[in-house]
Amino acid sequence: MAANEVINEPIQITPQGTLEILSKKEVNHLLDSTHSKLFETFRKCALAVLNCGNVIDDSKAVFEQFRDFSVYIRQQERGIKIELVNAPASAFVDRRMIRGIREHLFAVLRDIVYTNQQIIESGAFDLNDPGDITDAVFHILRNAQILIPQQPPDMVVCWGGHAIGPREYDYSKQVGYELGLRGIHICTGCGSGAMKGPMKGATIGHAKQRQYQGRYLGISEPGIIAAEPPNPIVNSLVIMPDIEKRLEAFVRLGHGIVVFPGGVGTFEEILYVLGILLNPANGDLPFPLIFTGPTESANYFERIDRFLLATLGQEARKRYRIVIGDAAQVGRLMRHGLEQVRRYRHRTHDAYYFNWRLVVDPAFQQPLIPSHENMAELKLTPDLPPFQLAAELRRAFSGIVAANVKEEGILAVEKYGPFEIRGDKRILEPLAQLLADLVAQKRMKLADHYEPTYRLIAE
């Protein structure tokens, strides 16, 4: 089947998964002409879900490839139906939509409607207030039925790139298998590569232990979902409104994190979690963090270690472990780390299902608009406290991610040229070396040739 093959005639489908029946008011709200941007967001997210398995990681290219795709919501007395026109044929088997994709499609509708009505427009949350932002993350996850009370810590977040080689992918499956054998569930960014491998491995580990309720949680956001559509193993999908709330959902839900090789998106995630853990307010909070890959990736992690030492200092090193070529050791370390988390949460009376005690500085919560002005105003200087420098570096990587794969960032660079990132040479020199390594290793994008979307200017 060709990658761009579509089904031309209209196809109607009914809800599958966690979506409850929408009221007429909710449907009318989504279809109201004053909410055309909201409906377009839903259309693009729906296309991304239906386009599962596509190897293009350029959101703009995906939307152009399927520019004739249309989606309609039909309100009926018995509930709703979604009508699709020119939908990607890969989402269907014998002209019937694959069940997992149908679940993901209605999860997208559920989260977009709920977030817009109950979080953004209701007035119940001040999204400039740190506490309200965390409450908003909690409410979105609760509405998606992700939070499970009374269950001991057993959710590990796995981060890593979609553009990884076969050996790294196979190793991520081995780690997932070792985690699954130990009763650990998996949460990822829900895409391909290192986001899919751990889930795939965990399914085998869970099956061997006769654990039939394995949780494979995927968390995405509208800006990235077209470049990283949900892989078919994800059995619980949540769409957060932006990358910052997506990242906060990871660290609030996850009891530990495993990081596989990846590109700038993975470095954004590394800097996010390290910036939070380096905050003195979180100094005593246990949060196992492991960097791991096959023996072929040893040099990659050595470079990460050098970059973090040069920018964030020795204290950052104390918050992570590097394990090379030993998937079983990753499983053992993580199981031990989760037990420490359990004891801490029990002692402090914190919930197992949502990390309320974790302090997330406002610098990590406010959305970054990927514009040339915002990228030029980053404060990349070693004079900042390490956790604040991590926040600025995280924003730099977030802007590069946007310019590489998100429609908004791609259009900005096409119109005005590469983003200019300015800063102290003591920060920009190791940053330049790290980015050059990622380009050389073809970790920026799936395309054979990568044209940098940024320019570093040392001051």
Chain segment 207-258, per-residue pLDDT in tens: 999 999 999 999 999 888 877 888 889 999 999 999 999 999 999 999 999 9
Q: Region 277-282: what's the mean pLDDT?
A: 96
Mean pLDDT, residues 144-172 taken together: 93
Q: What pLDDT is attached to residue 329?
A: 98
Does the pLDDT at position 353 exceed 70?
yes
* Of 88-102, 230-244, 330-344, 361-375, minimum mean pLDDT range: 88-102
Percent pLDDT > 70 in the chain is 91
Q: What is the mean pLDDT of residues 184-191?
A: 95
Nearest to 431 by CA among 397, 398, 391, 405: 397
- For residue 97, name the pLDDT band (cuts at 50, 70, 90): confident
What whole-number distance in Å separates Cα of residue 300 and Cα of residue 391? 22
Place 153 in a pLDDT band, splitting at 50, 70 and 90. very high
Residue 40 — pLDDT band, cuts 50, 70, 90?
confident
Question: Is 326's pLDDT higher than 70?
Answer: yes
326 or 458, higher pLDDT: 326
pLDDT band of residue 309 (cuts 50, 70, 90) is: very high
pLDDT at residue 201 in the model: 97
Where do we find the tokens 């390594």? 437
**Tokens describing residue 40:** 């377009």
Give SS3 for 403: helix
Band (pLDDT 50/70/90 cuts) for residue 79 is low
Neighbours of 340 (CB within 10 A): 15
Lowest mean pLDDT among 16-20, 341-345, 399-403, 404-408: 16-20
Residue 56 pLDDT more than 90?
no
The arithmetic mean of pLDDT across residues 54-61, rounded, is 61
Residue 33 pLDDT > 70, yes or no? Answer: no
Residue 300 one-letter amino acid: Y
What count of residues does the chain have?
Answer: 459
pLDDT of residue 35: 61
Please, are residues 3 and 90 in contact by the beta-carbon 8 Å criterion?
yes
Question: 139: closest CA among 156, 116, 173?
Answer: 116
Q: Which residues pair with 403 in a beta bridge?
A: none
Question: What average pLDDT does this structure show over 147-154?
Answer: 93
pLDDT band at 80 (very low <50, low <70, confident <90, very high): confident
| Model pLDDT, residue 321 | 97
102: its two tokens: 């149908």
**90-99, 138-147, 254-263: the lowest-pLDDT one:** 90-99
pLDDT of residue 426: 95
Q: 241 is written with which tokens? A: 């409104």
Where is average pLDDT lowest: 39-43, 242-246, 383-387, 420-424?
A: 39-43
What's the CA gap between 423 and 407, in Å, rounded? 26
Label residue 57 by pLDDT band (50, 70, 90).
Answer: low
Mean pLDDT of the chain: 89
Q: What is the mean pLDDT of residues 78-100?
A: 84
Q: Looking at residues 21-31, what average pLDDT do you find?
A: 66
Token pair belonging to 363: 């610098």
Structural domains in the chain, CATH included, are 6-124 (3.30.1850.10), 139-348 (3.40.50.450), 363-458 (no CATH)
